[in-house]
């Protein structure tokens, strides 16, 4: 009788119960038994040439109370309160051995968000009426690691631009995590903020000090064809050179859209269009030192539509630094982008990510401020501010103080100022406001933590519903209880 080899890697926790494992893997495998079950028929014990099963989960309960809703375009003088609580579960399974010559399949499922008090599931609504919750395949791709320096992914996968904090170039993390958390501050499109694409991605290292990434993708918010009506095609290339503690990089992205993905709802022409295209080209540098990790980025964006014809050309820049000061850390961020002043030649800078969820061009967790833009602990009540910023551009300066209070608790104090590059056409003002926030991270157990936070915004006249109306100041209270392994 052929000897059967257990497929679990040693990294898996023996404390995970049989029921949890079955829940996570039901859609991928027909039989799910405990790691301790020696039954010969077990799918977990088949000899597949050393293929391993690795898995994980992220489960959260969160609550939010504020006096504004999701991405409001204007703020009244007397804002009503708004609150919600929900539950979300994400689980991933990777079938394969992560080593040179390895190959496999990564799949990730999502249950929720399940809003308390509601019989339906956002955003996976069903159409049969009544109480219903959905399960979606968030990501699923085949992968191949030809050698220790190369990773190929084919299928539905998260994607982010490289204009972010210092990259880790950790290909293994893509195959063993819910999200790659070193990409949370991407400026144009963010995988953690559900920018998922379908296609082919090749990443690797060459000449010992150069990292590259090449991709051809259909966008998840586009349609289903590479050509013809309905296609939204992204071509992406990145190159980063390591020079001691420094990293120098450049990127070129091209988006061809025949599916009303990029324009038509906000910014640019408000009417339907036949096709559009956009280019992004930029450079960046991570100037690391022993105490500080400063970084800079500069991006040029040009594009437009046909039928009707409309063109734009703009630019954006970002500078950040983080380092130890005394017993804590200081984080600094400054970002600027150009906007459309209403003249015939538009200077609008656009982000790559556009979706119904981000109807102002908000691309994700690029900012340190939790009220004006998305933030994990405060999802999802926010103003949707991004570098695109409704086509009006942005200037912001932000600072944070991070202090460990003990081995388990860390506090974050954040402040930031925001202003549009051009006046809002309704309010006639550019001042967006000043935001203050405080967040407390409490690690209860390994993999289990809770976050409390509050944010307050002295709202500027940019958000006024009309000239002469002072918008109400905004507040947000949030809570997140999360387990992840």
Is 28 among the domain residues?
no
- Degrees (nearest 5) of the Cα angle 411, 415, 417? 165
- Most confident range, picked from 2-16, 229-243, 425-439: 425-439
Give the rounded percent of residues in the chain with a pLDDT score beyond 70: 80
Place of tokens 């969820």: 357
Is 439 among the domain residues?
yes
Cis omega (within 30 of 0) for bond into 123 = yes
**pLDDT in the model for residue 116:** 85
Domain region containing 265: 51-484
Is 16 among the domain residues?
no
**What mean pLDDT comes out for the span 141-149?**
93
147 CB-contact burial (10 Å; exposed 0-12 / middle 13-18 / buried 19+): exposed
416 contacts 409 by C-beta, under 8 angstroms: no
Q: How confident is the model at residue 4 (pLDDT cuts 50, 70, 90)?
A: very low
CA distances 72 to 67, 115, 230, 382, Å, are: 11, 20, 29, 8
Is 394 among the domain residues?
yes
Closest CA to 302 of 292, 318, 313: 313
CA distance 277 to 261: 11
Place of tokens 């790559």: 352
CA distance 210 to 188: 23
CATH number, domain with residue 383: 2.40.160.100
**What mean pLDDT comes out for the span 318-330?**
93
Is 27 among the domain residues?
no
126 contacts 120 by C-beta, under 8 angstroms: yes
Residue 90, pLDDT > 70, answer yes
**pLDDT in the model for residue 164:** 85
**Quick one: tokens of 210?**
């150069």
| Backbone torsions φ then ψ of 462, nearest 5 degrees | -55, -35
- Our count of domains for the chain comes to 1
**pLDDT in the model for residue 271:** 56
Is 40 among the domain residues?
no
Is 93 among the domain residues?
yes
Neighbours of 166 (CB within 10 A): 18
Q: Does residue 183 or residue 167 have the better pLDDT?
A: 167
Closest CA to 190 of 223, 225, 173, 165: 165
Residues 277-322 have pLDDT tens digits of 999 999 999 998 777 889 999 999 999 888 888 899 999 999 999 9
Residue 267, pLDDT > 60, answer no
348 CB-contact burial (10 Å; exposed 0-12 / middle 13-18 / buried 19+): buried
Lowest mean pLDDT among 88-102, 152-166, 168-182: 168-182
Residues 361-392 have pLDDT tens digits of 666 789 999 999 988 888 878 898 999 998 89
Q: How confident is the model at residue 123 (pLDDT cuts 50, 70, 90)?
A: low
Entry pTM: 0.86
Is 41 among the domain residues?
no
**pLDDT in the model for residue 188:** 93
**Quick one: tokens of 169?**
């170039």
């Amino acid at each position: 009788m052929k000897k059967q080899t257990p497929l679990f890697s040693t990294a898996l926790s023996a404390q995970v119960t049989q029921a949890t494992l079955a829940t996570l893997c039901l859609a991928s495998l027909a039989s799910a038994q405990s790691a301790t079950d020696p039954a010969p028929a077990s799918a977990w014990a088949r000899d597949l040439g050393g293929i391993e099963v690795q898995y994980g989960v992220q489960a959260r309960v969160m609550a939010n109370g504020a006096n504004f809703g999701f991405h409001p375009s204007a703020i009244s003088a007397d804002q009503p309160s708004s609150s919600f609580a929900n539950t979300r579960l994400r689980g991933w399974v990777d079938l394969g051995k992560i080593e040179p010559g390895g190959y496999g399949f990564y799949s990730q499922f999502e249950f929720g968000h399940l809003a308390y008090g509601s019989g339906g599931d956002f955003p996976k609504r069903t159409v049969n009426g009544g109480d219903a919750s959905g399960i979606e395949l968030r990501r699923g791709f085949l992968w191949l690691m030809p050698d220790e320096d190369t990773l190929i992914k084919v299928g539905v996968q998260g994607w982010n631009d490289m204009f972010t904090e210092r990259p880790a170039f950790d290909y293994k993390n893509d195959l063993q995590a819910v999200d790659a958390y070193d990409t949370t501050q991407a400026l144009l499109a963010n995988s953690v903020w559900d920018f998922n694409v379908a296609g082919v991605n090749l990443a690797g290292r060459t000449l010992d000090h150069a990292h590259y990434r090449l991709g051809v993708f259909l966008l998840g918010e586009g349609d289903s064809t590479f050509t013809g009506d309905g296609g939204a095609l992204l071509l992406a290339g990145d190159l980063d050179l390591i020079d001691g503690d420094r990293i120098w990089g450049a990127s070129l992205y091209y988006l061809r859209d025949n599916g009303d993905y990029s324009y038509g709802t906000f910014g640019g022409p408000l009417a339907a269009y036949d096709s559009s295209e956009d280019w992004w080209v930029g450079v960046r540098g991570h100037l690391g030192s022993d105490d500080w990790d400063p970084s800079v980025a500069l991006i040029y964006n040009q594009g437009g539509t046909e039928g009707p014809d409309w063109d734009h050309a703009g630019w954006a820049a970002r500078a950040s630094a983080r380092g130890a000061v005394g017993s804590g850390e200081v984080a600094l961020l400054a970002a600027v982008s150009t906007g459309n002043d209403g003249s015939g030649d538009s200077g609008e800078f656009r982000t790559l990510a556009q979706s119904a969820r981000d109807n102002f061009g908000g691309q994700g967790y690029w900012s340190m401020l939790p009220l004006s833009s998305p933030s994990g602990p405060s999802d999802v009540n926010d103003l949707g501010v991004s570098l695109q910023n409704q086509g009006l551009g942005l200037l912001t300066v932000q600072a944070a103080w991070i202090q460990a209070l003990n081995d388990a608790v860390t506090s974050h104090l954040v402040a930031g100022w925001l202003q549009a590059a051009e006046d809002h056409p309704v309010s006639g003002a550019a001042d967006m406001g000043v935001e203050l926030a405080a967040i407390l991270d409490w690690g209860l157990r390994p993999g289990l933590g809770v976050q409390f936070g509050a944010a307050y915004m002295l709202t500027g006249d940019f958000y006024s519903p009309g000239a002469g109306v002072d918008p109400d100041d905004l507040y947000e209270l949030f809570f997140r209880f999360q387990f992840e392994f």
